[in-house]
């Protein structure tokens, strides 16, 4: 469960990215966060794994107020949240397989288990045949699927994605949305920031999906 109450985020220089944001995503829900560029979608998502901290208000993830989380507890929070970043943050100095291994390596999972789980995750997004390739050799859609495989390899209960269909043509975007719908069907809570209304409509046609809209840092719906 994700619960924002009266959250404010101000950047140095006085710019207010979020103003009095309150909303709840129930466990197992699929929620789209919409709004124009600069409305505060990315900022809101970054507060969940504490990439940034709220100035006031509380952000409660699975019963824990992460806005006040001790720095040394943040890594353990992040292991339970699958993150898909706007700029993907793939590592191009290693193979597709090793990219998916990274979250398991940093937590000390046994290499044999880790390899099995990494292949399972790659299989889920249909990239298993490309495991030895370098991410740079993948198409845009494949790179996004790789980012998703890395996000789910730790079997997180919460998935957050920032513009996962941006810069993808309609076919690839549809694949990605179908993946999120599939994860949601097996019980994963998902919060997806997007301004792509076609994507929202496609997901809503498959599973129960809700939309919250940000406008200039404030929640409008």
Partner 1 sequence: MTAWLRLHWMAFALTLSKLSRTPFATLLNVLVIGIALALPAGAYALLVDLRAAASNISGDPELSVFMALDASKQEVAAIDARLRAQAQVSRVEFKPRDVALEELKRNPALGDVIAALNQNPLPDAYTVRLGQNDGDALEKLAAEIRTWPKVEHVQVDSAWVRRIAAALAIGRMAVLLLAGLLSFALLAVTFNTIRLQILTQRDEIEVSKLLGATNGTIRRPFYYYGVVLGLLGGGAAGLIVFAALQFMNTGVAEFARLYASNFRLEFLPAGDLAAILVFAAALGWLGAWLSVTRHLREFEPR
Q: Looking at 28-36, 98-106, 161-169, 185-193, which segment touches partner 1 (CB under 8 A)?
A: 98-106
Binding flag, residue 76, partner 1 (CB under 8 A): yes
Cβ distance to partner 1 smaller for residue 92 or 132 = 92
H/E stretch holding 32 reads strand 30-34
Phi-psi domain of 187 (left: phi exceeds 0; alpha: psi -120 through 50; beta: other): left
Cβ distance to partner 1 smaller for residue 71 or 136 = 71
List CB contacts of 118: < 8 A, sequence separation 6 or more: 97, 100, 101, 104, 149, 153
Q: Count the residues of the shown chain that bind partner 1, applying the rule CB under 8 A.
A: 29
| Angle made by CA atoms 135, 136, 142, in degrees to the nearest 5 | 55
Binding flag, residue 138, partner 1 (CB under 8 A): no
Site pattern 35..74 for partner 1 (x: CB under 8 A)? --------------xxxxx-----------------xx-x
Structure-block tokens of residue 86: 């706007």
Binding flag, residue 83, partner 1 (CB under 8 A): yes
How many angstroms separate the CA atoms of 29 and 12, rounded?
34
Out of 102, 133, 204, 207, the only residue in the binding site for partner 1 (CB under 8 A) is 102
Are 23 and 212 contacting, i.e. CB atoms less than 8 angstroms apart? yes
Query: What secondary structure letter does DSSP report for 39?
Result: S
| Residues at the contact surface with partner 1, assessed by CB under 8 A | 49-53, 71-72, 74-79, 83, 85, 89, 91, 93, 102-103, 105-111, 150, 154
């Amino acid at each position: 469960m994700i619960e924002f109450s009266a959250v404010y985020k101000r950047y140095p220089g006085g710019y207010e990215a979020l103003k009095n944001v309150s909303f709840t995503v129930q466990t197992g829900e699929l929620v789209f966060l919409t709004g124009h560029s600069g409305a505060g979608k990315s900022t809101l998502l970054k507060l969940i794994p504490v990439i940034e901290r709220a100035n006031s208000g509380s952000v409660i993830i699975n019963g824990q107020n992460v806005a006040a989380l001790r720095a040394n507890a943040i890594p353990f929070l992040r292991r339970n949240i699958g993150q898909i970043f706007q700029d993907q943050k793939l590592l191009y100095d290693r193979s597709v397989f090793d990219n998916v291994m990274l979250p398991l390596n940093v937590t000390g999972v046994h290499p044999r288990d880790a390899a099995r789980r990494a292949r399972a995750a790659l299989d889920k997004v249909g990239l298993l045949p490309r495991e030895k390739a370098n991410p740079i050799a993948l198409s845009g859609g494949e790179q996004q699927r790789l980012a998703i495989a890395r996000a789910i390899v730790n079997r997180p209960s919460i998935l957050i994605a920032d513009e996962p269909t941006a810069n993808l043509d309609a076919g690839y975007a549809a694949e990605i949305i179908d993946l999120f719908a599939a994860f949601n069907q097996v019980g994963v809570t998902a919060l997806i920031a997007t301004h792509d209304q076609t994507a929202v409509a496609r997901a809503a046609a498959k599973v129960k999906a809700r939309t919250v809209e940000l406008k200039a840092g404030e929640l409008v719906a």
